[in-house]
Structure 1
Amino acid sequence: MKRLLYIPLLLILLLGCKSNENDSATPQSLVTSLSGKWLMTETEVTVNGKKVWQVVNTLTPVYLIFRSDGVMLDGDGKASCCGPNALSINGNFFKIEPQSEVTYSLDCAAVDCLACPVLDIEYSGNQMIITYCIGGRVKYIKN
C-alpha cells in the first residue's frame, strides 16, 4: 500500500523539476540564439557605494547586433575596433571566428586597442547582461 503512495509522489517530484533552457545548450546554440538586434536599456552604476541599475536615455537608442558567428556589431553594422576574441555565455566559452567579411569604422586606424579578450555575457530569454573587462555592466533586451 505504501508503494502506491510513493508513485504519485515520485511523479510530482519529477514533473515539478524545472530546468533552465540554457543549462544544456552548446556554445554554438547560445551564440545562435543571441544573434539579432539588442537594445541597451540599463547600465550599472555605483550610488553611495551600492551598485544599482540606471535606465539609459531612450531618446537616443543604442543597439548591439550579434551575428550567428559571434561577431558583435554596432547599430550601424560596424564591428568594434577593439572587439573580443571570444565570448563567455552563461559560463560557456565560444571563440569568435568570422564566417563572412567584417566591416570596421574608418576611425579604427587611429585606435590603439586594449581589447577585452573574452566578453562575459549572462543571457536568459530576451534579456542579456554584458560585463566588460574594464568593469562596466550593461543590460540589453532583444529587439
Structure 2
Amino acid sequence: MNHQDSDPIDILLVEDNPGDVRLTQEAFKEGKINNELHVVNDGEAALDYLYQRGDYADAVPPELVLLDLNLPRVDGLEVLEEVKSDPTLSQIPVVILTSSEAEEDIVKSYENHTNAYLTKPVSPDDFVELVRTLEEFWFELVKLPPTDD
C-alpha cells in the first residue's frame, strides 16, 4: 500500500523529550509518506487521546503509535498494557521507541504485545534514519488491518 498520494497516515507520538519530538517531526516531514504526526507528552494524555476523552474528544484514531517508555504520569508500559488489552484499540500497532536497553523493559514490552521495540540512537542523524526506516516498513511493506473511518 503506497500512501504517497492517498489520505495521510495518522501517527501518535507519545514522547516527553522535546528534542526527540523535534527530530521525529523532522524525519517524518522529510519522509516519503504523507502523514499527520500527533504528539502527546505523557501516558495519561496518550490514553485520553486514544479513548478520545477530554481535550482529545475529536482526535483521529492513529494507525500507528510510537511510544516512549519513560513517561510522566502514566508510564509507557502501562499505556501499552491498556491499549493491547482493549478490544477497540488492540489492533493499532504500537512501536516502543525508547532510550532504554534494559532487558526487563524489552521482555515486558513484548509480554504486553508491542509490535516492535526500537532503541533510540544517540546520534541525531541515526535517529532520523531510524524513523525513516520505521515509516517505510510500517507504511510501505506491512499489511495493516483496515481502520474504521
Report if TM-score (shorter chain) is over 0.5.
no
Structure with bigger strand share is 1
What range is the shorter-chain TM-score in? under 0.3
TM-score by length of 1: 0.27
Determine which structure has greater relative contact order: mean sequence separation of CA pairs < 8 Å that are 6+ residues apart, divided by chain length. 2
User: Which of the pair has more CA radius of gyration?
Assistant: 1
TM-score by length of 2: 0.26
Structure with bigger helix share is 2
